[in-house]
Amino acid sequence: MFRNNYDGDTVTYSPTGRIFQVEYALEAIKQGSAVVGLATKEHVVLVALKRNAEELGSYQKKIITVDDHLGIALAGLAPDARVLSNFLREQAMSQKMVYNRPLSVEKASNLLADKAQKNTQSYGGRPYGVGLLVAGYDETGAHLFEFQPSGSVLEYVGAAIGARSQAGRTYLERNFESYTNATKDELIVHGLNALRDTLAQDKELNSKNTSIAVVGKDTSFTLFDDDDVQPWLDRLDSTSNARSSGGAGDDDNNDDNNNDDGANPESKDEEVKDAAGDEGANEDRMETD
C-alpha cells in the first residue's frame, strides 16, 4: 500500500525531485565506522576507527595511500573505496607522467565527484556506497575534502563521516579555534580526541583499532598503524582512552548537536540508527567498514 515506487534505480526522480538510490547509498556511509579529518594551512590529519568482523579477525583498513602527497579515509563499502582509490592512483600517476607534477587535491576530489555522479545518471548501475575524506598537500597548501557518492565534494577544515560521526563533528566544531593554527602533533591529538567521541559506550581507542595518517609541508603522506599508533594514544590527556564521560551531549544516543536549535531535525534519529548499526547486530546487511 505504501510501497515506494521511486527507489528502484538511480534514473528515477521521485515527485519531490529526490533520487532515493543515491540517498540509500549515503546511508551505507553511516553504517561504516567513523573517520575524522582535520586540517591547518600546513598539515592534514586523518584518523580512523577500524573494525574487525569478529574477535579472531583482522581489522579492516580505513586509510589508503594514493601518492606521496595524497591519501583517503573511507566509511562505507570498502570495495568501492578500493575502486576509487585505484582510480585516484591512476590519475596521480598520469599527472606525474604527462605533466611532471603532483595531482592537485582539489582536482583529485573533482575527478572523484565526476566519476561518482556518472553512476547516478545511467540505468543499470548503482551509486558508490562509500564516503571518503580526501587529504593532501599541494602547491596551494594542505587540503581536506569530503566526498559523497552523490557527487558532492566540499572542502573542510574539520570533517567526520561514518557511524556516530556527529559526536566527532561536534568536537571539531567546538575546538575549531584551537586547532586551526596547531602543529602537526597537536593536530593528531585533536583528531584522536574527536575520534574518541565517536566511540560506543564500552569501546576504547587502542593500537589495534586506530589508524592515523598525516600529510603536509615537508611531510609526505604517512600512515601509522598498530605499534606506531601507541605513542600518539599515550598523548591523549585523559587517563582513559574511552570517550570522555563529562560534557553535555556526549552521552550515547543523545542529540550531540545542542547548538543546532532544531535546525537539523534528522540528526536525532540518525544517532539512534547509528547506534544500532555500530554493534554489528545486523547480520543480514551488507558489510560496511
Partner 1 sequence: MDHDPFRWGRPNDATYGKYNNQIANATAMPKMNTQQPIVTGTSVIAIKFNEGIVIAADNLGSYGSLARFTDVERLFPIGENAVVGISGDISDLQYVGRILEDLEIEENYDSDGHSLRASHIHEYLQKVFYHRRSKMDPLWNSVIVAGVDDDKPFLKYVDLLGVTYSAPTLATGFGAYLAIPLLRKVVDKEEDVANIDEETAQNAVKEAMKVLYYRDARSLDKYSMVTISKSKGVVFEKNLHSEKQSWRFAKDIKGYGTQVV
Which residue in 66, 157, 50, 131 sits closest to 104, CA to CA?
66
For residue 2, state whether it binds partner 1 (rule: CB under 8 A): no
CA separation, residue 228 to residues 65, 87, 207 (Å): 16, 28, 8
Nearest approach in angstroms of CB 185 to partner 1 is: 28
Of 89, 107, 115, 273, the one binding partner 1 (CB under 8 A) is 107
Of 18, 41, 101, 217, the one binding partner 1 (CB under 8 A) is 101
Nearest approach in angstroms of CB 52 to partner 1 is: 38
Of 54, 139, 177, 284, the one binding partner 1 (CB under 8 A) is 139
For residue 244, state whether it binds partner 1 (rule: CB under 8 A): no
Window contacting partner 1 (CB under 8 A); options: 31-39, 95-103, 262-270, 273-281: 95-103
Nearest approach in angstroms of CB 181 to partner 1 is: 21
Of 3, 99, 237, 248, the one binding partner 1 (CB under 8 A) is 99
User: Any idea of the CA torsion for 201, 203, 204, 209, to the nearest 10 degrees?
Assistant: -140
Residue among 97 and 248 whose Cβ is closer to partner 1 = 97
The site for partner 1, by CB under 8 A, has a size of 12
Nearest approach in angstroms of CB 149 to partner 1 is: 21
For residue 98, state whether it binds partner 1 (rule: CB under 8 A): yes
Contact 207, 227 (CB under 8 A): yes
For residue 152, state whether it binds partner 1 (rule: CB under 8 A): no
For residue 140, state whether it binds partner 1 (rule: CB under 8 A): yes
Of 110, 117, 152, 219, the one binding partner 1 (CB under 8 A) is 110
Distance CA 56, CA 262 (A): 43
Residue among 73 and 153 whose Cβ is closer to partner 1 = 153
Residue among 58 and 100 whose Cβ is closer to partner 1 = 100
For residue 218, state whether it binds partner 1 (rule: CB under 8 A): no
Rg over CA atoms, the chain: 19
Window contacting partner 1 (CB under 8 A); options: 41-49, 55-63, 134-142, 231-239: 134-142
Q: Which three cell numbers stand for residue 226?
A: 598498530
Distance CA 159, CA 170 (A): 10
Nearest approach in angstroms of CB 135 to partner 1 is: 16
Nearest approach in angstroms of CB 73 to partner 1 is: 21
Residues in contact with partner 1 by CB under 8 A are 97-101, 104, 106-107, 110, 138-140
